[in-house]
Structures are given as structure tokens and as C-alpha cells.
């Protein structure tokens, strides 16, 4: 497969997976912080690697902020959101590269729920003037909900989805080669 064809295949795959990420988040927007996004980002990172997942995350953050009625309250939250989501592939391909056990990944998902919330603190405190401790305290419950949602979705769905995605990925690239 030539580099050009490989790039086309990659672009199509990234677009499809970013769409899945976007649609599920939009569909679940009425539930505060309950979503499959963390599961999908962890899954994409483990199956596709850092580069493709980062592109998916960048597309997702751009699209969710342009198209979603539940996008950021202020545009200055966009960098926070981008950093918050990019932390996942960065950590999973560096510090936690060797982590494969589903329970450990689910526990990291729980932790990411809090890290995601904390990523919004600098802008919220410095730009909107919300007091730091009050923000930290009031956001804890949402971080907890996101963390629990991350834990349960990764714990139950990561393994079957990983098998399916690997098989689809191999088939996708193999079919092209053939």
C-alpha cells in the first residue's frame, strides 16, 4: 500500500471514529458527564496509537464546540477541553503505556474524570472570576459522576470493543492490501 493510499485510509478511519465520538457525546448530552467518550478515547489510543487518537480528539473538540448546542459556555474553554482530552492519549502512550488490565484502565478512567474537571479550573478562576475553592468543591460531584461513568463503561465494554475494533482495523487495512 502506497503512502498516499495509507493516508487516505487513515483519514477515512479517523473521520468515522471522530463521528462516533461526537454522536454519542451529543446523544448523551442531556445526562451530566455520563458518556462513552473516555471509553472511546482510551480504546482508540490502545488500538490506533497516539497520532490517530490525537487527531480524532482535535476533530472532536472542534466539532463539538461548533455544532453542539451544549458546547462550551465561553470560547476560552476550548483550549481547556482540548488539553483535558489530549491528556488521555498522552498518558496512555507514555506513563501508562504498559497498562493493559481492564481494571487498571477503568481506574485510570476514574482518575481522568477528575483530571478532566481540573483542566477547566485555570480559565474558570482567572477569566470568569469564580472563586477557586468554591469551583473545586462544586465541580467535585460532576467529576465524580464522570469518573464513575468512565470506570463502569471501560470496565464492562473495553474488552469486547477492543476485540471488535482490532478485528475491524485489521480487516480494513488487510482488505485494502488485497
Partner 1 sequence: MKGIALKVIVSLIVLSIAAFLVHYFFIQNQASNDGTFHLVIMDASETIVYEGDLEFFEGDTFYDVLDRNFELTTQPPTFLGIVIIGIENDEFTILTNFTDDFLAIEVYEDGAYRKTAEGAVLIEPEDGQLYRLRVEQVSEGPSS
Binding region for partner 1 (CB under 8 A): 32, 103, 110, 128-131, 134-135, 137-138, 140-141, 144-145, 148, 151-152, 155-156
Q: How far is the CB of 178 from partner 1 (least distance, A)?
A: 36
- Judged by beta carbon, residue 78 or residue 130, the one nearer partner 1 is 130
- Judged by beta carbon, residue 68 or residue 168, the one nearer partner 1 is 68
Q: Which residues contact 59 (CB under 8 A, 6 or more apart)?
A: 14, 15, 18
Residue among 163, 75, 157, 84 at smallest CA distance from 116: 84
DSSP per residue, 9-42: HHHHHHHHHHHHHHHHHHHTTTSTT--SHHHHHH
CB 21 within 8 A of CB 41: yes
- Judged by beta carbon, residue 9 or residue 122, the one nearer partner 1 is 122
- Judged by beta carbon, residue 141 or residue 164, the one nearer partner 1 is 141
Residue among 66, 22, 74 at smallest CA distance from 44: 22
Cell of 85: 482530552
Q: How far is the CB of 172 from partner 1 (least distance, A)?
A: 29
Q: How far is the CB of 157 from partner 1 (least distance, A)?
A: 11
- Judged by beta carbon, residue 160 or residue 177, the one nearer partner 1 is 160
Q: How far is the CB of 55 from partner 1 (least distance, A)?
A: 32
Q: How far is the CB of 129 from partner 1 (least distance, A)?
A: 3
Cell of 127: 477569566
CB 147 within 8 A of CB 32: no
Amino acid at each position: 500500500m502506497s503512502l498516499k493510499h495509507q493516508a487516505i485510509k487513515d483519514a477515512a478511519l479517523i473521520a468515522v471514529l471522530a463521528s462516533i465520538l461526537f454522536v454519542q457525546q451529543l446523544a448523551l448530552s442531556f445526562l451530566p458527564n455520563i458518556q462513552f467518550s473516555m471509553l472511546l478515547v482510551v480504546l482508540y489510543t490502545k488500538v490506533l496509537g497516539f497520532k490517530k487518537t490525537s487527531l480524532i480528539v482535535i476533530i472532536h473538540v472542534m466539532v463539538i464546540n461548533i455544532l453542539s448546542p451544549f458546547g462550551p459556555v465561553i470560547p476560552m474553554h476550548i483550549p481547556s477541553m482540548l488539553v483535558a482530552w489530549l491528556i488521555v492519549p498522552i498518558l496512555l502512550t507514555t506513563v501508562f503505556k504498559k497498562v493493559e488490565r481492564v481494571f487498571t484502565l477503568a481506574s485510570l478512567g476514574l482518575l481522568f474524570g477528575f483530571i478532566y474537571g481540573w483542566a477547566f479550573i485555570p480559565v474558570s478562576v482567572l477569566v470568569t472570576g469564580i472563586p477557586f475553592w468554591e469551583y473545586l468543591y462544586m465541580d467535585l460531584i460532576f467529576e465524580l459522576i464522570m469518573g464513575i461513568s468512565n470506570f463502569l463503561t471501560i470496565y464492562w465494554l473495553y474488552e469486547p470493543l477492543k476485540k471488535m475494533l482490532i478485528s475491524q482495523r485489521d480487516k480494513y487495512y488487510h482488505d485494502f492490501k488485497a
